[in-house]
Amino acid sequence: MASNDKHTARRLRTTYLTTIISISLVLFMLGILGLIILNARQISNHVKENIGFSIILKDGIKDVDINQIQKSLDAEPFVKSTHFIHPDSAAAQLQKDLGEDFIEFLGYNPLLPSIDIKLNANYANNDSLSLIEADLMNNPKIKEVFYQRDLVSLINDNVKKISLYLLGFSALLLIIAVALVNNTIRLSIYSKRFIIKTMQLVGAKHSFIRRPFVLRGIGNGIVSAFLAIGLIVLFLYYLHQQMPELIDFKNIELYGALFLLVIMMGIIISWISTNLAVRKYLRIDTGNLY
């Protein structure tokens, strides 16, 4: 008898842990998805702000003129950052890429001084770049404005497509996550179906039978949510080490909203799934329990 009790207690602990771990992993997935959605604009801006163009300056331009152009560019609203490239630096980089000394072959350095510009996200499109190019070409010290028009269009189109795919994937993942949690809880309640039916047969009200299971389900949801939040924090820390420009721990409100959402999802999904599972075994015939 004692061995049977120990075996039953061990099975209950295993079922409890399995339920907690399963719900935690599902909530972790939902949390990561929520994190991507909440940071979608920041990620999109990060991609667009890597779009840039180069201003090729005329040969023989003075250093004072270069500084003046760079300072005026830094003051423009479309500019995120500027970087001056000296002809010698450009030649050294090109020589490294080609693997041969083209200056020795030509007898001179054909490269001109240039300024690389990174754009603010709102201006990273071909329409804005065309207007910027036209304005910059009015400067007599600028020879050429160079950027890859096809690449700019491709990046903007891909950002829009990814946003649409992300919304569709989010809806699908949410449905799958709810189904997984629901199945896990139903399996947990299945092991207690005889207890539920016994309580019903001795005259206990449905609300009285459901209450301890629902409270336990909500408790499981809360514990699972905090475990999921711990995993999300570790994931965020790792991402911050790899891509600090994407993860800003100063945005406490955003992460607070995300963690609150994970807790609410844990409670709501567990509450609904537990209610449905217990109600199923309250309505089932005794003969069908086996």
Closest CA to 265 of 92, 34, 43: 34
Distance of alpha carbon 32 from alpha carbon 234, whole angstroms: 11
Render the chain in DSSP notation, one character per residue.
-HHHHHHHHHHHHHHHHHHHHHHHHHHHHHHHHHHHHHTHHHHHHHHHTT-EEEEEEPTT--HHHHHHHHHHHHTSTTEEEEEEE-HHHHHHHHHHHHTS-HHHHHSS--PPPEEEEEEPGGG-SHHHHHHHHHHHTTSTTEEEEE--HHHHHHHHHHHHHHHHHHHHHHHHHHHHHHHHHHHHHHHHHHTTHHHHHHHHHTT--HHHHHHHHHHHHHHHHHHHHHHHHHHHHHHHHHHHHH-TTT--TT-HHHHHHHHHHHHHHHHHHHHHHHHHHHHHHHHS-GGGG-
What is the structure's pLDDT at 272? 82
Q: Which residues of the chain have pLDDT under 70?
A: 1-16, 40-41, 102, 151-152, 177, 188, 190-191, 244-251, 281-282, 284-290
Mean pLDDT score across all residues of the chain: 77
Residue tagged 């510009």 (tokens): 117
Return all residues near 228 (Cβ < 8 A) that are at least 6 apart.
23, 24, 25, 27, 28, 30, 31, 262, 266
Judge residue 201's burial from the number of C-beta atoms within 10 Å of its C-beta, 0-12 exposed, 13-18 middle, 19 or more buried.
exposed
Q: In what order do the strands lie in the sheet with 79-85?
A: 79-85, 114-119, 52-57, 142-146
What is the structure's pLDDT at 1? 44
Sign of CA dihedral 78, 80, 86, 91: negative
Strand partners of residue 83:
116
Domain spans, the chain: 2-44+156-289, 52-146
Question: Residue 210: how many CB atoms within 10 A of its CB?
Answer: 19
Distance of alpha carbon 140 from alpha carbon 4, whole angstroms: 92
CATH number, span 52-146:
3.30.70.3040
